[in-house]
Chains A and B, each alone.
Chain A
Amino acid sequence: MSYASTAGHDEHHDHPTGILRWLTTTNHKDIGTMYLIFSLIMFMVGGLMILAVRVELFQPGMQLMQPDFYNQLIGVHALVMIFAALMPAATGFANWMLPLQLGAPDMALPRLNNWGFWLLPPAAILLTLPFTLALFGIGDGAIATGWTFYAPLSVQGGIGVDFAIFAVHILGISSVMGSINVIVTIFNMRAPGMTLMKMPMFAWGWLITAFLLIATIPVLAGAVTMLLTDRHFGTHFFNAAGGGDPILFQHLFWFFGHPEVYILLLPVWGFMPQILQTFARKPMYGYKAQVYSFWGIGILSVVVWAHHFFTVGMPVPALIYFMFSTMAISVPLAVLFFCWIATMWRGSMTFETPMLFAVGWIILFGIGGLTGLVLADVAADAQYHHTYFVVAHFHYTLFAGGIMGIMAGVYYWLPKMTGHMYNENLGKLHFWLTAISFNLTFIPQFFLGLAGMPRRIPDYALQFADFNAVSTVAALVLGLSQLLFIYNIVSCARGGKKATDRVWEGSDGLEWTLPSPPPYHSFTEQPVIK
């Protein structure tokens, strides 16, 4: 702890208080906290949207809303959850934990860091503003194309598409700024002696994430820019009559969109082995194998994009290539699963809330991965494409693999961040309610998809009614049980049992050598790693 005691304020720093503190801060913990709170708020916003959708789907026929509003809700739900809930949560953890884990005084580019966060609220406002504008007779609501913006529907859409395009632009700038910061921090701010292969796994996960963001987010920006000029300035990128091709948009979009899945998951894969080793009380298994798997998955993820539209009409050699390259991803992913399980193997495990989430995450994310393998099969995909099977599959990867993983991280690090222990019983209750209601929501959707129920349609045939009713009731329970999560976080931030520096008996890493909560400047003097 010798270095912790030297942590103090820079003499030339004068820190504003109140709202100005948060507007102007260059401190990685303040910025990380803002990211996490923003993420939690947008998680609730996106959740409310989809609960309205689920209630509409409770019975066949149209009950609550017009089909166009339904389309707006599902599209904005996805954009909010991906860009405004999951990505900021991962960036929030990066801000909080990378300097602590690497033994750095702060992130490498603190002012840029502040900008990266403060781009998010304007983007979120742009994304959701059209709902409000429509009430005042301006435009016809938010983007109604689904989150994928497919042309030509998006070329013909209303003002909501323009809002979504610019929201994506601003979110993209934010992500690129965040990635620059992460890459520079990892390359330049590590404690002396911490070689790349001694870095915490979380830093590795985020490094690959940042590389993927730098490579793919600008492509999305280019794609939506072409969409904008097709809409308003007379270009013909996606118009066959002008020599363009709507499928070009799908290629550009999914060149970003597929790596995006790994952008959302890699940070979680980074800290999950740390949680597993903490509660199994033995070192993580296969550090090198995991790092190489990250690289393998990162590289493969940018060459497999077309499996998202196998049914669009591609030449057979292209189909075969994208099928096999997609399936090849399961090899490094299987290595990761093996390492996670081997980390627990014969450990002296206890099941505090983070560990419950971690173990549940392995199982549920495993289901997400295996059903993805089914969809990667060209012949099978012709049956499953654009059905609820796909919806269930990507919720197993992104809700279980992404959000439940983030929840594990929240419970794991909350005592470190706040200095208080959360309520363990409430946390466990939250886990069980979430895990059970999540499965009850989405397992029926696998069957609905196999039976042929298409996604993105507000009405359905009578035969699908029972499974939809189950799914809706479970989704409501899932939504309500997140109130426990919020209550637990808020009450933990406000008080509770004091957390020790190490918090968990088996925790290992530089962040646990600092007090809980850590001082304002993390490592004013860098620790030396042997």
Chain B
Amino acid sequence: MATHSENHYFVPNPTLYPVFMSLGIFALAAGFIFSMNSYEAGKWGMLAGAALIILMTFRWMGKVISESESGAYKHWEDKSFRWGMIVFICSEVAFFAAFFGALFYTRMISVPELANFDPDFTMYKDFTAAWPSLGPGGDVIRSAGALESYAPNPDFSPMGAWGLPAINTLILLTSGATITWAHWGLVKNNRKQLVIGMFLTVALGIAFLLCQAYEYYHAYSELGLTLGAGVYGSTFFMLTGFHGFHVTLGTVMLIVILLRCMKGHFTPERHFGFEGVAWYWHFVDVVWLGLFVFVYWL
């Protein structure tokens, strides 16, 4: 069977990583639930779960990298990974779509509706539709007992678009360019260009996260803009927060790829690991553009 290796699909050995990964997720979720509901022991479950997840990610990905370097993956397997990554990114798009949908719904429907009730039948008589909005019931929320602990600050200011967010936009767009430049280096087998390009991309990713952290600090300490600042604060922090979480993940993946590049992994012909992370990074980039336009600017 001369064609055996070409027609042979690599079915990996049995491993325990997925089971322990699920166990870690279970512990993290259960621990989180308990600590949210004021059971102190919950945090130990969270810690154990998170540790297990991180350990298993290391082991699992390490196994995949060693399989890849030993040449187990040929063209056929490579195609599976590409399709898989594309579909995964599509699912991430759908996840962000839920939060963008919530933003559009609030801006276009719920806030205007709350201002347009018949004055004889509404408890929110003086509320006018505007964006950003704290919602009509700042005082109502505060007096609502259980919700007291996170009453909104009625005097928050929205986040402007043309300060730090504009700089962040530049940072992310530049990082999209540097990773492409690194890719060109990889394809031309210019390892120096590859490593420098990756290093710059990682640095820009970290710079973005630092700016974002400062922006949050600024929002909480000076603008009075908090997670509880009406539906504006909710959509602002959930959208930018989940994006920031994805940038964090992306930066960690970029660092792994940078280290692999420095160890001499990847060839000009075959480097799915690099491309998958690059796709993910571009996806995160595009989401940010949506955020910049719809959350900060308009």
* A residues at B contact (CB < 8 Å): 10, 12-16, 20-21, 23-27, 104-106, 108-112, 114-115, 118-119, 121-122, 125-126, 129, 138-139, 159, 162-163, 166, 169-170, 173, 176, 179-181, 183-184, 187-189, 214-219, 221-223, 225-226, 229, 232-237, 239-245, 247-248, 251-252, 255, 521, 524-526
Contact = CB atoms under 8 A, between A and B. Distances in A.
B11 A236 contact: no
B91 A218 contact: yes
5 contacts: A122-B23, A162-B33, A180-B88, A222-B99, A242-B152
Contacts of A242: 134-135, 137, 141, 152, 228, 230-231, 234
A104 B9 contact: yes
Interface stretch (B106-114, B160-168, B215-223, B278-286): B106-114
A226 B111 CA distance: 17
B187 interface: no
Chain B interface size range: 35 or more
Nearest to B64: A111
Contact of B33 (A110, A163, A234): A163
A504 to B, nearest CB: 29
Contact of B19 (A10, A24, A183): A24
A218 B87 CA distance: 12
B227 interface: yes
Contacts of B227: 229, 233-235
B234 A244 contact: yes
A180 B140 CA distance: 46
Q: Which 9 A-B pairs have the closest CB atoms?
A: A222-B98, A241-B137, A234-B150, A243-B135, A115-B18, A24-B14, A234-B228, A245-B110, A243-B231
A98 to B, nearest CB: 14
Given A105-B11, A122-B29, A241-B144, 18 more contacts: A108-B84, A111-B18, A122-B22, A170-B29, A180-B88, A223-B98, A226-B102, A233-B227, A233-B228, A236-B234, A237-B235, A239-B135, A241-B138, A241-B140, A241-B141, A243-B110, A243-B134, A243-B230
A-side binding surface: helix, strand, loop or mixed? helix
B13 A26 contact: yes
Contact of A159 (B37, B76, B113, B238): B37
Contacts of B150: 233-234
Given A159-B33, A243-B230, A138 B39 contact: yes
A119 B25 contact: yes
Contacts of A180: 84, 87-88, 91
B110 A222 contact: no
A244 B25 contact: no
A159 B38 CA distance: 10
A235 B232 CA distance: 9
A124 B231 CA distance: 33
A109 B80 contact: yes
A245 B33 contact: no
A180 B82 CA distance: 11
Contact of B30 (A110, A126, A244): A126
Given A26-B11, A105-B11, A229 B238 contact: yes
Interface string B27-47: 001101100110100000000
Contacts of A247: 110
Contacts of B7: 525-526
A411 B137 CA distance: 59
Given A138-B39, A222-B99, A241-B136, A189 B9 contact: yes
A155 B152 CA distance: 18
A176 B91 contact: yes
A129 B37 CA distance: 15
Contacts of A244: 106, 110, 135, 231, 234
Contacts of B39: 138
